[in-house]
Amino acid sequence: MNKWIIGARPRTLPAAIAPVLVASALAGSEFNWFRAALALKVSLWLQIGVNFANDYSDGVKGTDAVRIGPTRLVASGLATAKSVKLAAIISFAIASIAGLWLAVLTSPILIAVGALSIAAAWSYTGGRKPYGYSGFGEVSVFVFFGLVATIGSYYVQTENVTLMSFIVAIPMGALSCAILAINNLRDLDQDALVGKKTLAVRMGDSVARRAFVGLLVIAHTAAIATFKPLTLITLLAAPITFSLARKVMGGVKGADLIPLLGRTGKLQLIFSALFALALAIQ
């Protein structure tokens, strides 16, 4: 596989697709395919940019020297730190162009939102005091890949923000956090050794596993809490949820958690597709 595809980490991309899909369905008759496409472009390239930025920052810090997870470009020597940093910058630039276009079509406020999103993406593992090393990664993911991505995608199509757009953002944020949570659970021992105090490291193995399951429960509960009867179809994804919860609570560790990362992304895609369908035909 091409090294740049590996570096983009395709398994994490459902976190970028799901919010736009759900927000577009909620927009209903106000759905605008062109603005939705731009929003998707912003979301996807921000996620890819985050992945390259993390690869670069962790690589130059040496925290990826010993890994059991997917290959990292800098740490493995597949690409130079300079080239991976450039890939991150290019990704953020592509997202910025699409975001600026949306700002022109809607509101200049989106420029500030975009700048904050890129700053948060870079600061996750970059800079002198990366907040991802202090246990705040999940908070950032919930805010930017949950609330901002969903509400923002809804806003650019309807030019309005509603309580419902906030509610439907909650399961999107919870499932995006679940992807990060299982990633950090997999790397818990290695992160602890290098002083990377992710939330999983701070909570410990047992609590981190319960927190992962809790995020899945929040996602299902929030979808039903929209009080739209058809959102019950999201329970069709429950078998995947139960399977993930059973394996994680069963004590699967290390490399055996790698396939579960992909399955968590798959859960988010299936869940969001069902959720979007329910919102669209409600």
Range of the domain at 231: 3-281
Give this prediction's pTM.
Answer: 0.91
| Pick from 148, 36, 21: nearest CA to 102 | 36
| Pick from 47, 21, 65: nearest CA to 180 | 47
| Pick from 221, 223, 220, 208: nearest CA to 276 | 223
Q: Dihedral sign, CA of 154, 156, 158, 162? A: positive
Q: What is the pLDDT of residue 1?
A: 56
- Domains in the chain: how many in total? 1
* Range 106-124 average pLDDT: 93
Contacts of 34 (CB under 8 A, 6+ apart): none
CA–CA distance, 16 with 239 (Å, rounded to integer)? 23
CA–CA distance, 26 with 158 (Å, rounded to integer)? 10
Contacts of 263 (CB under 8 A, 6+ apart): 240, 243, 244
| Pick from 212, 197, 196: nearest CA to 250 | 212
CA–CA distance, 3 with 9 (Å, rounded to integer)? 10
- CATH number (domain holding residue 37): 1.10.600
Q: What is the pLDDT of residues 76-108, one digit of tens each?
A: 788 898 999 999 999 999 999 999 999 999 999
Q: What is the pLDDT of residues 164-209, one digit of tens each?
A: 999 999 999 999 999 999 989 988 888 888 778 889 999 999 999 9
Give the Å distances, CA to CA, from 9 to 13, 89, 104, 282: 7, 16, 31, 34
| Pick from 122, 118, 98: nearest CA to 35 | 98
What letter represents residue 196's amino acid? K
